[in-house]
Amino acid sequence: MLHVDLDQFIAAVEVLRRPELAGKPIIVGGRGDPTERAVVSTASYEARAFGVGSGMPLRIAARKVPDAVILPVDHEAYLAASDAVMATLRAQPGATVQVLGWDEAFLGIQTENPESYARQVQAAVLERTHLHCSVGIGDTMVRAKVATGFGKPAGVFRLTAGNWLDLMGSRPTRDLWGVGTKVSGRLAKLGINTVAELAGTDPPDLVPEFGPRMGPWYAELGRGDGASMVDDTPWVARGHSRETTFQRDLTEPAQVDDAIRELAARVLQDVVAEGRPVVGLTLKVRYAPFFTKTYARKIPETFERKEVIARALDLTARIEPARPIRLLGLRAEMSMPDDARKGHTPTRGGW
């Protein structure tokens, strides 16, 4: 299988619209104003060289790269570019396509020369969209996904069971797809610091720390094992979320309630289009200066707007009193249709 990942996707789309920006450090985030509260959505390779990364406060990014071109987020432009890329991938001969996000997808193929096929994919995407992509080749999704990192930018790389530990064994566990900083820290407390150490762990030994499902799964990740078939079943959203960063901290309960009502109204617009009831809510609170907590609860299935808003307001009782708030977010979980795909492929995003 192949993992296709568009290189510096958002920044690349902006360069297509403004060719004069090619080769310059580009930072995309918020409304493009570093004096406002916002975070970096993406940065070009030139900006990343200065230590700018996604999620960094925009003002700090601007401080790191004073000469950077800072642009506002344009979701519609990125979605249109993504649709063109995915259409190109689906048009490849014999390919089964599983979309992971607007800038990456898996392709299941049968070929005796996957490297040649990968280069054909790269050429097709470039011809159709003028965007470059990197392609990872693997005998599992995990290995294909990780292989892409070795191929960036605009390259092709193959990882299989045969060379997995040679290339990944000495790397820290946080380099694995699906293992972030928090999980790698918990693994380190168990004396597991490298991919090779995780691969050699007896799965039951991870159950006390991570549970009967996730423990064995992390051991599987360490070996690079896992799903080896691409599933083109259309993805079904589990929920919708919205969030707002406030230019001035919220300090009064009435301000918080008003903000929650507005967020709930925006989320419900997305939920109504799905036609599935809400079954859970998660409130995201970022306290000043930059400390984030989430509060979640299950709720009885409901389509009722007033009920969802009331349940969302109930969550505000868990907000820490007397702490200024710089961001609020609300996520509504929906019931899943019986035929929705419930795979356990690790994914990113969401909160």
* DSSP helix/strand/coil, 287: strand
- Look up 104 and say whether it is catalytic: yes
DSSP for residue 274 = H
User: Using CA atoms, how far apart are residues 77 and 60, in angstroms rounded to an integer?
Assistant: 26
User: Using CA atoms, how far apart are residues 174 and 218, in angstroms rounded to an integer?
Assistant: 11
Beta partners for residue 292, in sequence order: 286
- Choosing from 104, 197, 220, 333, the catalytic residue is 104
User: Using CA atoms, how far apart are residues 309 and 130, in angstroms rounded to an integer?
Assistant: 44
* Nearest of 333, 270, 261 to residue 300 by alpha carbon: 333
- Which positions are catalytic? 104
